[in-house]
Structures are given as structure tokens and as C-alpha cells.
Amino acid sequence: MSKTPASPLELVLITGMSGSGKSVALRALEDVGYYCVDNLPPELLLDFVALERQVAAKQVAIAMDVRSAISLPLVPAQLRSLREQGVAVRSLFLDSTTETLVRRFSETRRRHPLSGRREAAKGVPPTDERHALVDAIELERELLADLREEAHVIDSSVIRPAQLQAHLKSLLSAPTSQLTLVFESFAFKRGIPVDADYVFDVRMLPNPHYEPELRELTGRDAPVIAYLEARADVARMRNHIQSFLDQWLEPLARDHRSYVTVAIGCTGGQHRSVYLVEQLAAAFGSRWTTLRRHRELERG
């Protein structure tokens, strides 16, 4: 009988849409010491983990994708079984908007792994190349829907590979035993993050952009902070968001959620949303593990 490892194995499962950055994610985990396996068939997951536990492995990352579509429905039950065995499981799902995925496949001229699958099933030829690609992407969404539901979703639509790697490393540095709050600022003009659990629109608040001396600053700079803190509407918005989260974070934690992403958006993702993310992360940091993301600031 094999000896039980002194500390639990940490398993990170990376799934997601083709073209969303799974290879980038796997490289990031390899950089920080995970033993990484790409495209492991789901049928082998339990045996593979058992083998890694026998050799007292500490950190393992596995990527699975739609090429294993037939057996992917096995995965949610397998993950529950591994958790019951004491394995610290983190499930991450990389996603991007359909438009972003179409652009990436067009730029790289790669073929989507499901190209032609839906047309073949219907017995009709694709009408054109773009339509066929969109069909393949939407079919992939359907096939991966259950895995997405069980995972923490990361939106890679408008971030660079280096940003994705940094965000993954931040997520994995958080303890697995408690809920982690991810506060994310964004610009509505670049689209709502697809990984958000809650979205708050703060575009109705006074905008520092229209003050020439504040325009080039951000919500982390003292003059912008002073400007926003002098506005009663801003304080009321902050209190309303904080009150909402105070009400529901404990039930979410009891539901065994590992991560909750709270996205706060303004027009440019530079002033109001950044300020509120910083304030809320500071307010909740004493009670919960909190991470900050500033999508537009990190872009450039």
C-alpha cells in the first residue's frame, strides 16, 4: 500500500476555448514549478493523479481541450472524486469573445479543431470560411459548457500573453482553502469581461477625464482619489457595492466557490473603476483574500 503524501497534491486543470491561451497558461505554470501535461485524455486523469501521488508530487497542471470532447463529460465527477481524496483541485477555464477567437484563428491561419463538424452533422456544406469558423466556435462552447460552469473563468479577450501569465500566477498564489475575491476594472468601450461574476456600471459617476489636470492620471493617483472622494455619489456607489458583497460572500463561500470576480466598469477604465477597485479591495482585504486587476491599465 502506497504511503500518503505529507502534503496534498495541488492539481490545476486548465480547459477553455481553442485560441484562448491555454498553451500560454501552461507555460506560466511550468515557469513556477508545476509539472505540466498538455491534452491529457480524461479517461487517464484518475490514474495519472494516483501515479503522481505515489511519487509524492506537489504541483501538477493538466490541460484538456475539445479534442477530447467525447470523454469530457467525465471530468466534473472526476474532480469531485479527487477533492474527496484530499487533492487540492483548481479548475480554470480560459475564454474569449467569439469575435476575438475568429480574429486569432484568421491571423494565424490555424484550423479550428472542430472545423466542419457541425456542417457534417447536419449534412450541409459550410457557406463560407468565417461562418464555418463561427459555427465551430459556438459548437465548442456547447461542448465545454459544463466544464466552464465548474471552473473559474479567465477572460483573455483583450489582454496580452504576459498579462495572462501574471494574472495566473497571482491566482495560484492565493490559498486554496478559502474564497478569493478578484476585483477587476475595465472600460465598457472594450467590452464587458466574460469572466465576471458580478458587473457594476459606474459610468454615471462624475468623470475626472473632463478635468484637464486629471486626464492623464489614474484612479490610483492622489489628485484623482481626492476628486472622487469629494463626490457624494461616488461614496454612495462604493457603499452599495460593499453592502451587496457583504450580504452574499459568506453564502458563496459556503457553496465552495474558490473565486468570485467583481468587475467594475467605466468609460475608459482609467479613473472611476480603478479607484473603486482599489477601495473595495482594501476594504475586503482584511476578511478575504483579494486580488486586483486593472484590465486597461495593464494593457498599456
Q: Any known ligand binding at 21?
A: yes
Specify the DSSP class assigned to residue 17.
-
**Contact 249/181 with Cβ under 8 angstroms?**
yes
CA–CA dist 209, 267 (Å, integer) = 10
Q: Any known ligand binding at 269?
A: no
Query: Is the C-alpha dihedral spanning 54, 258, 138, 36 positive or negative?
Result: negative
Q: Any known ligand binding at 17?
A: yes
- Type of residue found at 234: V
Q: Any known ligand binding at 265?
A: no
**Contact 40/66 with Cβ under 8 angstroms?**
no
Q: Any known ligand binding at 22?
A: yes
Q: What is the CA radius of gyration of the chain?
A: 21
Q: Any known ligand binding at 237?
A: no
Q: Any known ligand binding at 38?
A: no
CA–CA dist 89, 9 (Å, integer) = 8
Neighbours of 265 (CB within 10 A): 27
Phi, then psi, of 63 in degrees rounded to 5: -105, 135
CA–CA dist 80, 141 (Å, integer) = 22
**Contact 84/40 with Cβ under 8 angstroms?**
no
CA–CA dist 186, 82 (Å, integer) = 36
What three-state secondary structure class fits 37?
strand
**Contact 233/206 with Cβ under 8 angstroms?**
yes
Neighbours of 139 (CB within 10 A): 19
CA–CA dist 274, 185 (Å, integer) = 5
Binding residues for ATP: 16-23
Binding-site residues for GTP sit at 65-68
Going by the annotation, the residues of the binding site are: 16-23, 65-68
